[in-house]
């Protein structure tokens, strides 16, 4: 069964969404991050996806305090990331009680360091975040540093971690992110076919309950729900019910 994971992206302490990863195209929402997490818990969420957008751009994860407050006031399990640039950052997030540390840029730039973290914490404690764009030939390429740089191919990035025990991959089609055009089903169909044992989380573009149903039918393990929930296109309770 698919796990529905509401997302909260935080910038300057506020709940925001970026269009296609562009910091110049930001929508700010009135909800308080803690109150929103508590609402998602009341609506039936078991997991929360939390992103530090400031840190994703410049490094230095800054949401440990918020994570502590969410953990203290809800039963939510949290996967979180943004700005993880060193082993020290990984250790700090682990110490903050994050259930799954989401590692993006560092996984592409320092694979030996991240592989060591897999050895130390185990694959259940880490989620590999691969945010991708398609090139002119249709090949998926991973973006890093807050989606400002593009390089390694998607399958090559996954291959770096398969023998380290990689389980969880959160994959976002940047072109779909924040634009309410539906999940890129071809992307997740590819991942399910090429890497069938991975627990894949779909992200980017959901706008209707039919999008959730469509991606669930592919057999992905999780679906990230962001802007659609913030703008009331459907509620988490409605999504869980279907």
| Catalytic residue list | 9, 131
Structure tokens belonging to residue 149: 């740089």
For tokens 């691969």, the residue is 130
Cα dihedral 33, 37, 39, 45, rounded to 10, equals 160
Contact between residue 68 and residue 61 where contact means Cβ atoms under 8 Å apart = no
């Amino acid at each position: 069964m698919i796990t529905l994971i509401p997302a909260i992206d935080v910038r300057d302490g506020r709940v925001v969404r970026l269009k296609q990863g562009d910091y110049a195209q930001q929508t700010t929402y009135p909800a308080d991050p803690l109150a929103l997490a508590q609402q998602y818990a009341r609506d039936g969420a078991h997991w929360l996806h939390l992103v530090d957008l400031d840190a994703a751009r410049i490094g230095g994860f800054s949401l440990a305090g918020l994570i502590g407050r969410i953990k203290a006031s809800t039963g939510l399990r949290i996967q979180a990331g943004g700005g993880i640039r060193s082993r020290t950052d990984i250790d700090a997030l682990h110490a903050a009680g994050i259930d799954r540390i989401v590692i993006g840029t560092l996984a592409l730039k320092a694979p030996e360091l991240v592989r060591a973290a897999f050895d130390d914490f185990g694959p259940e404690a880490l989620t590999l975040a691969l945010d991708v764009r398609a090139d002119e030939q249709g090949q998926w390429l991973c973006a890093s540093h807050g989606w400002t740089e593009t390089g390694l191919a998607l399958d090559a990035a996954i291959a770096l971690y398969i023998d380290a025990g990689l389980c969880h991959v959160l994959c976002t089609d940047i072109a779909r992110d924040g634009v309410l055009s539906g999940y890129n089903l071809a992307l997740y169909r590819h991942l399910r076919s090429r890497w069938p044992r991975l627990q894949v989380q779909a992200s980017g573009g959901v706008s209707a309950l039919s999008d959730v149903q469509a991606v669930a039918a592919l057999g992905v393990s999780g679906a990230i729900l962001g802007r659609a929930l913030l703008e009331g296109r459907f509620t988490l309770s409605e999504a869980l019910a279907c």
